[in-house]
Amino acid sequence: MKFEQGACGLLPIGVVIIVNSERMRSLFAAKEAEFHRLLTCLPAASIVLGMRAMIVKEFRELVRDRRTLGLLIMMPLLLLVIFGYAANFYVSSLKTAVVGPQASQVAAQLPSLFNVTVTQSSGTKADAEKLLQDNKVDVAFVAGQTPVLALVNGSNLFAAQSAVAALNKAGNKVKTQVLYNPDLKTSWVMVPAIIGLILTFIGTIITSIGMVREREAGTLEQLAVMPIKPSQVILGKIAPYFLVASVDMVIVTVLGILLFGVPFNGNPFAFALGAAIFLFVTLGLGVFISTISQTAGQAIQTAFFFLLPQILLSGMIFPLEAMAAGVRWIGYLLPLTYFTMISQGIMLRGAPITSLWLPFGVLTVMAVVVFTGATLRFRRDLAPGTPASPAGKQPAAAQTVSTA
């Protein structure tokens, strides 16, 4: 036992000596052969030497694989920042509307948790409900009646929970009514967001792998010389994924309704339109990732970079309102944030497309920008002589003549 303990103690010292063998060699001014003879005299030195070669080789490969290195360095920082600033379920400020006669008096008496953004003395209960349906506020008080009626937007789960907890303290002075998710079920807000996550997964990861496979197999080169336009290649490649994702979306939506009782209060066509636009964004991201990846492994790694922030910062898990401002703004750059707004709005609140113009508009702009950028990059791979290609060197002297 003592011998084993001693060996264990000496082993790290041996490893340090061997790993720093260059320095040790110069330190002792030993010749190469003598140095190695010395090492091979040590117990198990050949094993350690082999291990050293492996460690050095692994480090060299790692340094060349910038993407993995980036992942190793950035991921802990990213997770620290995200969990530090974003992982907060407690909403400390609730957007609040107060309507009805005495709206100003009621607003003045509310605790600081309720950040009154709308005060309408002439407003009615219907106006309050409209503000909630349009997701302009988390809570709407209808003043002018006893007790005061507090309508809570249940589709913003954590905001609603904070509101209900605060309102319960007011006792019978306030009558609380939770709309759109009366039992404040987590599944009701998660299912619409998960539909978006599934579309993101298929659109980003599966599409990029499918595209990169052509490059890995060398068949992209073959497609490039065929009389088929890059746009036809892209559309032909993504059409099956678009269909599969659409079928998946329908299955998940129906299962969410059947298994979890999630309501579908809005217009299915508006929902389908939002999903289609969102799918174009994610498919565009998938194509883009394929243009910056040489292998399926690289594509998965890169897609992971795009996917993780969307899961954590889109408001799907942690409420956007509870995040620090800097992190929240990252969330506002992510497409899943806007699809979640659309899916929760249509499914839970029955919001019309007119009240969801902002997420629809942002997603449309994203779809155009991402898809155009990805197509141009893909076009560069398929048609190297075209102006879209930075490598497309075609000086005046270089000409291509098509002969019949």
Partner 1 sequence: MYAVRSATVRFGHVLALDDVTVEVPGGSVVAVVGGDGAGKSTLLRALAGEVPLDSGTIEAPPKQRLGYLPASSGSWAALTVTQNIDFVAGIYGLAGEELTARRAELLDRASLTSAASRLAARLSGGMRRKLGFTMAIVHRPDLLILDEPSTGIDPVSRIDLWRLASEAAASGAAVLMSTTYLDEAERAAHLVVLDSGKVLVQGSYDQVRAGFTGVVTQTGEPVRAEWAWRRGRVQHEYWPGGGPPPEATVVPPDLEDIVIALSLARRNAVPS
Q: What are the DSSP calls for 110-140, one per residue?
A: S-TTEEEEEEETT--HHHHHHHHHTTS-SEE
Cβ-based nearer residue to partner 1, 9 or 227: 227
Radius of gyration, alpha carbons of the chain? 30
Q: What are the DSSP calls for 193-229, one per residue?
A: HHHHHHHHIIIIIIHHHHHHHHHHHTHHHHHHHSS--
Cβ-based nearer residue to partner 1, 9 or 218: 218
Cβ-based nearer residue to partner 1, 226 or 244: 226
Cβ-based nearer residue to partner 1, 113 or 376: 376
Whose structure tokens read 């006669």?
101
- The distance of closest approach from Cβ of residue 382 to partner 1 in the complex, given in angstroms and rounded to an integer, is 10
How far apart are alpha carbons 194 and 135 in whole angstroms? 20
- The distance of closest approach from Cβ of residue 223 to partner 1 in the complex, given in angstroms and rounded to an integer, is 8
Cβ-based nearer residue to partner 1, 263 or 384: 384
Length of the chain counted residue by residue: 404
C-beta separation of 14 from 48 below 8 A: yes
- The distance of closest approach from Cβ of residue 231 to partner 1 in the complex, given in angstroms and rounded to an integer, is 14
Cβ-based nearer residue to partner 1, 105 or 232: 232
Q: What are the DSSP calls for 271-314, one per residue?
A: HHHHHHHHHHHHHHHHHHHHHT-SSHHHHHHHHHHHHHHHHHHS
Residues 6+ apart with CB under 8 A from 339: 196, 199, 274, 275, 278, 359, 363
- The distance of closest approach from Cβ of residue 45 to partner 1 in the complex, given in angstroms and rounded to an integer, is 39
Peptide bond into 147 cis (omega under 30): yes
Residues that bind partner 1 (CB under 8 A): 217-219, 221-222, 224-228, 384-385, 389, 391-395, 397-404
- The distance of closest approach from Cβ of residue 272 to partner 1 in the complex, given in angstroms and rounded to an integer, is 30
Cβ-based nearer residue to partner 1, 47 or 398: 398
- The distance of closest approach from Cβ of residue 296 to partner 1 in the complex, given in angstroms and rounded to an integer, is 13
- The distance of closest approach from Cβ of residue 28 to partner 1 in the complex, given in angstroms and rounded to an integer, is 39
